[in-house]
Amino acid sequence: MPEGPEIRRAADSLEAAIKDKPLTDVWFAFPTLQPYASLLVGQHISHVETRGKALLTHFSGGLTLYSHNQLYGVWRVVNTGEAPDTNRVLRVKLQAADKTILLYSASDIEMLTPEQVETHPFLLRVGPDVLDMTLTPQSVKSRLLSAKFRNRQFSGLFLDQAFLAGLGNYLRVEILWQVGLTGNHKASTLSETQLDALAQALLDIPRLSYNTRGQADDNKHHGALFRFKVFHRDGEKCERCGGIIEKTMLSSRPFYWCPGCQH
């Protein structure tokens, strides 16, 4: 399943294609959404917001399309009039004069008023988004030390969207490698120095992934690029200590780590 950085980049591509352009055609597969189609024609998309792995497509008239891709949903951008060659089932079409965005295969789709956005069960449950640039390491540290999270093992905590939205498995293992901790640690057992380093890494690594993942490392002047240090690298040498990276299962997900420098 895509994690926060991939969801945000998908939202960026949707915005680049259709933001602020009058909608010329709107189509929904689900009967509960179909009454909104004619209402939205002529409106424009003001912005596409991410809340972890959910997308909120905000329309100029005040309504918001909530969608969660879960395992199979995917958005596509096409030139208006083109139909992608796919076996996926179309759920949503939002068309402007030159570009159209299409949502395939997702089943968790709703239209919300501003009041419903504020009371939506999923949106109420998710924590702050790691790609929200107003979120600070100090706020993350406070969440780590809160009564709700301080005694939970990181292996499960970092997969729980109620803690920080947008984290997932590859980010979980890369963050823990960065700070030299294992999935069995808890915030309540860490030193101040460890907590500070972890709070910083919980923001830095997802943001680095969002900003640079997929770019070729051909210009060193651009600074660090995101690349996996341990994820899917079992059997290889750890670049930090030379130990051999191992793979196990934690919280029912594959977990990669270096026993030589993660204690």
Distance CA 102, CA 27 (A): 10
Burial class (CB in 10 A: 0-12, 13-18, 19+), 180: middle
Residue 70 has pLDDT above 70, yes or no: yes
Query: How far, in Å, are 177, 248, 253 from residue 244 at the CA level?
Result: 13, 13, 20
Architecture of domain 137-257: Orthogonal Bundle (1.10)
39, 52 Cβ separation under 8 angstroms: no
What average pLDDT does this structure show over 93-108? 96
Instruction: Report which secondary-structure segment, H or E, holds 68.
Output: strand 64-68
| Tokens describing residue 200 | 């910083």
What average pLDDT does this structure show over 32-55? 95
pLDDT in tens, 190-246: 999 999 999 999 999 999 999 987 554 544 444 577 889 999 999 999 999 999 999
Instruction: Report which secondary-structure segment, H or E, holds 57.
Output: strand 54-59
Query: How far, in Å, are 59, 122, 135 from residue 119 at the CA level?
Result: 18, 9, 22
| pLDDT on residue 1 | 63
What average pLDDT does this structure show over 125-141? 94
| Tokens describing residue 130 | 């790691």
What does the buried/exposed string (b/e) look like for 10-49 if buried means 16 or more CB atoms within 10 Å of the residue's CB?
A: bbeebbebbbeeebeebebbeeebeebbeebeebbbbebb
| pLDDT on residue 223 | 53
Residue 63 has pLDDT above 70, yes or no: yes
| pLDDT on residue 4 | 85
Q: Tell me which residue of 66, 63, 198, 41 sits closest to 124, measured CA to CA.
A: 66
The CATH superfamily holding the domain 4-125 is: MutM-like, N-terminal (3.20.190.10)
| pLDDT on residue 7 | 87
Distance CA 255, CA 190 (A): 21
Hey, which residues are catalytic here?
2-3, 53, 253
Which part of the chain is CATH 1.10.8.50?
A: 137-257
| pLDDT on residue 53 | 81
Which part of the chain is CATH 3.20.190.10?
A: 4-125
What average pLDDT does this structure show over 67-90? 90
What mean pLDDT value characterizes the chain? 93
